[in-house]
Amino acid sequence: MNNQRIAEIFNEIADMLELSKDSNIFEIRAYKKAALTIESLSEDVSEIIEKDGIEGLTELNGIGKALAEKINEFIKTGKIKKYEELKKIYPIDFKNLTRIQGLGPKRAYSLYKNLNVSNIEDLKKVLSEKKIQTLPGFGKKSEEELENGIKLLESSKGRILLGKALPEAELIIKKLKSSGFVEKVVLAGSTRRMKETVGDLDILVISITPEKVMDFITKLPEVEKTIAKGITKTTVWLKIGISCDIRVVPKESFGAAQQYFIGSKDHNVKVRQIAVKKGYKLNEYGLYDLKGKIIANEDESNIYEKLGMQYPEPEMRENRGEIELAKENKLPKLIRIDDILGDLHIHSKYSDGLNTIEEMAIAAASLGRSYIGMTDHSKSEYVANGMDEKRVLRYFDEIDKINEKLKNKIKILKSAETDILKDGSLDFSDKVLEKMDYVLASIHTNLNMNRQDMTKRILTAINSYKINIIAHPTARLINQRQPIEFDLDKVFQAAKDNNVVLEINSYPERLDLNDENILRAKEFNLLFSINTDSHRTSNLELLRYGIGMAKRGWLIKKDVINTLPYENLIKLFKK
């Protein structure tokens, strides 16, 4: 991917520009904003150039003619002249140095100028020699801060999975609630927006005794150390490897504070611009007019209303067009977890699951599901104890029996997670496939095929007209394995033509399709199935992560097939 590297270069250019005396703060911001935009694209910039030329780039948020030229320069030559020239003046590894908590470009430059520090290794050396405390603007505390910053950086691997962050946040919130020091607690930040990975936790509190709240939080067993402690804001480092910000806000400002701290930053910048245009000022304490009179503060939706907008759900707040829709009163009514009636991707002891079919069915029924689809692995997945043609027939017989036994509780559909083989054929014969209520197919092997061959493989499978659902379509594992490479647009179009549904896999490591790809697939009017891919009964509750992804992808109830009652679903599967 070029995107990541270009974003890094733009960020470094911003850092270096910040050091020159005649720098323009807005130019610096422009580079940072562009870096954010490029980083979050689902498409490689070279693909955009290929399709729509440089003009395609200027369509992007925060990218004008000059930056588009620079991106093009990078694609063509592998270099950006402006960056190379700045780098000659400032041969400093800003990218890694500024990842240290508390170290920004200016102090990094001071370290370079005075002590010739150009990377983290150099910094460690001068720290051990205790040289930094002698520099102007630095002291003993700064030295300690840098030492700790390096340790934190090395012990953390950056962002952690939502599936790990959200339960931790909920645990802390529960403890705060029972502490007796708080009137109200809510979750904010990227965790509240259900982003697939989380860099830190943000928790908002109303309390008349903020000191006690801050004391309480810094002493929790989940906390490793305190980074900053004030009356309104405290930051702690959690043992799970991310930081957590606690903000105490006045009751009357709670709505404004939520609006501000839920983010995203991009969304907020735009909302504030709208406020300014209306002659208002918006900060975390409220919406004010020019005379400083409060227009709205206690209720979040009231703030949006006063700005002439609908209330956008937190999952949508990424500045991906939701603000424009909110102004036009056209926000979609997003899917809710209660809309889901069944779960169509579930494993049992027949392959690599931990529980029996019956146990899974009863657990699902107790969560209110009215049907499930059993999808144990096919024979190519021998490491996962995949079923051969004989065993899958026994599997179906057993499902029939359990269906009879549980007929008043839940319905079980017959299927199997059938491998899409290297040549695009399926891992079961037509004879077996015909006995299934629906066919769930997925890719598990030969993941590093080139883009062209992989596209052909998937298209062959889709065009066979035997598949109902493609499970975890990109096969990525967050922080572990890159998505497989294929032409998304071609596959989405073929899926539409063949009535193939795309899965949104709720497993925290997968979340596949992700929000970006859902938004893209939605352009093709595709249908989706939000499933848990459960391998044990407790996994059935992972559904909320898939719902989070679906909401981030702007899906409504009728986009998702497992909101349908059983009878309608069966009809949909009969092609």
Task: Describe the chain by its helix, strand, coil percentages, rounded to 5.
Answer: 50, 15, 35
Give the whole-angstrom CA distance, residue 173 versus residue 163: 16
Minimum Å gap between C-beta 138 and DNA is 5
CB of 321 to DNA, least distance (A): 13
CB nearer to DNA: give 20 or 24: 24
Residue for token pair 């991009």: 266
Cβ neighbours for 151, distance < 8 A, ≥ 6 positions apart:
none
Burial 293-326 (b: 16+ CB within 10 A, else e): eebbbbebebbbeebebbebbbbbbbbbebbebb
Q: Is 162 exposed, middle or buried (0-12, 13-18, 19+ CB in 10 A)?
A: buried
Please say which residue, 136 or 333, places its beta carbon nearer to DNA.
136
DSSP letters spanning 332-372:
--B--GGG--EEEEE--TTTT-SS-HHHHHHHHHHTT-SEE
Least distance (Å) between residue 37 CB and DNA: 9
How far apart (Å, rounded) are the C-alpha atoms in residues 305 and 314? 15
Closer by beta carbon to DNA, 200 or else 489: 200
Q: How far is the CB of 105 from DNA (least distance, A)?
A: 5
Looking at beta carbons only, is 78 or 279 nearer to DNA?
A: 279
Closest to DNA by CB, 63 vs 543, is 63
Least distance to DNA, CB of residue 19, Å: 9
CB of 281 to DNA, least distance (A): 4
Query: Nearer Cβ to DNA, position 266 or 503?
Result: 266
Cβ nearer to DNA, comparing 154 with 434:
154
Smallest distance, DNA to C-beta of residue 83, A: 11
Are 437 and 373 a contacting pair, CB within 8 Å? yes
Whichever of 60 and 556 has its CB closer to DNA, that residue is 60
CB 529 within 8 A of CB 561: yes
In the bound complex, what is the minimum distance in angstroms from residue 139's beta carbon to DNA? 2
Residues near DNA (CB under 7 A) are 24, 26-27, 29-31, 34, 58, 60-68, 82, 98, 100-108, 133, 136-142, 145, 189, 200, 202, 228-233, 243, 245, 265, 268-269, 272-273, 276-277, 281-285
Task: Return d(Cα 37, Cα 60) in angstroms, integer.
Answer: 7
Q: Which is nearer to DNA, 280 or 395 (CB)?
A: 280
Is residue 386 within 8 A of residue 437, CB to CB? The reply is no
The bridge status of strand 197-198 relative to strand 528-531 is: unpaired
Q: Minimal distance in Å, beta carbon 338 to DNA?
A: 31
For residue 512, what are its two tokens?
Answer: 């596949």
User: 506 and 545 in contact (C-beta within 8 Å)?
Assistant: yes
Query: Which H or E element spans position 548?
Result: helix 543-552
Distance in Å, CB of 544 to DNA, minimum: 23
**Given the complex with DNA, which of 200 and 358 has the nearer CB atom?**
200
- Rounded distance, CA 80 to CA 69, Å? 10
CA distance 529 to 569: 11
Give whichever of 265 and 536 is closer to DNA, judged by the CB atom: 265
**Who contacts 206 (Cβ-Cβ below 8 Å, separation ≥6)?**
182, 183, 184, 185, 248, 249, 250, 251, 254
Tell me the closest approach of the beta carbon of residue 94 to DNA, in angstroms. Answer: 10
Nearer to DNA, 105 or 342 (CB): 105
Give the helix ranges, DSSP H, for 59-161. Answer: 65-77, 81-89, 94-97, 105-115, 120-128, 140-155
The least CB distance from residue 112 to DNA, in Å, is 11
Tokens 């503060």 belong to 297
130-155 residues labelled b (16+ CB within 10 A) or e (exposed): ebbeebeebeeebbebbbbbbebbee
Q: Are β-strands 440-442 and 417-419 bridged in parallel, bridged antiparallel, or unpaired?
A: parallel
